[in-house]
Amino acid sequence: MVHVWDITIPELTGDETRKAYVYLPESYDWEPGRRYPVLYMFDGHNVFFDSHATYGKCWGMKEYLDSTGTPLIVAAVECNHSPNNGRLSEYSPYSFQDPKLGKVVGRGKETMEWLIHTFKEEIDRNFRTLPERENTFIAGSSMGGLMSLYAVLEYNRVFSRGAALSPSIWVAPGKIRNLIEHAKLQPDTVLYMDYGSREMNFHPNMLQQFRYVTSQLLERRVMLECRIVPGGNHCEASWEKQIPFFLNTLLYQP
């Protein structure tokens, strides 16, 4: 079951509405005393429904979770669709300059503060969650993958595990490496990170940046699963195929 409703984020876009989504596992109704871990995801409009997805193809999260009986709540919010780099701004922790995009003002910190102190509190208040850090995860792709990496590092007190699919580390590779070096990380931190093999020529030095970031994460003793996806590309159809990989990492229990 996926609940959909309209919300506003006054800190970011004033009174403009966007959609919020919450997936509840099939067991939610017939096990009324049970509580569930929560996975927060970016680009919520692309997560569940083809009819809502930007390019007409979603991740198919509901179908996968229903078919596997995965005991997990998934909460997601639609991105900012403003043509003036709205999504890039909200999903970047850092301001950056790009020859094609121009100057992008990073508002990722504001996005995360809202997600943690407003959206997460609403989800924990209205649904039977396990709100503690060890049961709170985050995931996204592209700029949402960058935000997931940022969230696990900068807000490690909130998120114990994350999945960064095709993360846009090209935005500010030096600042990301600095964050990894100085982040206050708990020893149980888990991260899944991947790129599609067909993405590796999208940006200069992409393979090198991926190698630097993953090496640093391992040096920080993050429990990391990283992959180059054979034939993988930068699209929802490709990310959908990675669901079993990253969910198995996020939900793995020894």
How confident is the model over 171-210, as pLDDT tens digits? 999 999 999 999 999 999 999 999 999 998 877 788 889 9
Helix, strand or coil, per DSSP, at residue 100? coil
**Cα–Cα distance measured from residue 198 to residue 46, given in angstroms and rounded to the nearest whole number:** 21
The mean pLDDT value for 110-139 works out to: 98
Confidence at 101, pLDDT banded by 50, 70, 90: confident
- Rounded mean pLDDT, 136-157: 98
CA-CA distances (angstroms) from residue 125 to 66, 128, 129, 137, 190? Answer: 24, 8, 8, 17, 26
CB proximity list for 250: less than 8 A, separation 6 or greater: 39, 137, 139, 161, 162, 163, 190, 192
> Residues 101-122: what's their mean pLDDT?
96
State which amino acid sits at residue 78: E
**Pure H helices in the chain:** 10-13, 27-30, 61-68, 86-90, 108-114, 120-126, 143-154, 173-182, 206-219, 236-241, 243-251
Label residue 237 by pLDDT band (50, 70, 90).
very high
Helix pair 61-68, 243-251: axis angle to 10 deg = 60
40 pLDDT tier (thresholds 50, 70, 90) = very high
CB half-sphere exposure, 248, CA atoms < 13 A: 8
Question: Cα–Cα distance between 145 and 147 in angstroms, integer?
Answer: 5
Q: Look up residue 226 and give its two tokens.
A: 């990283």
Look at residue 254 and tell me whether its pLDDT is greater than 80.
no
- Compute the mean pLDDT over every residue in the chain, rounded to the nearest whole number: 96
- Checking if the pLDDT of 99 tops 90, the result is no
Q: Beta 190-196 vs 161-165: how paired, if at all?
A: parallel
Tell me what pLDDT residue 98 has. 82
Length of the chain (residues): 254
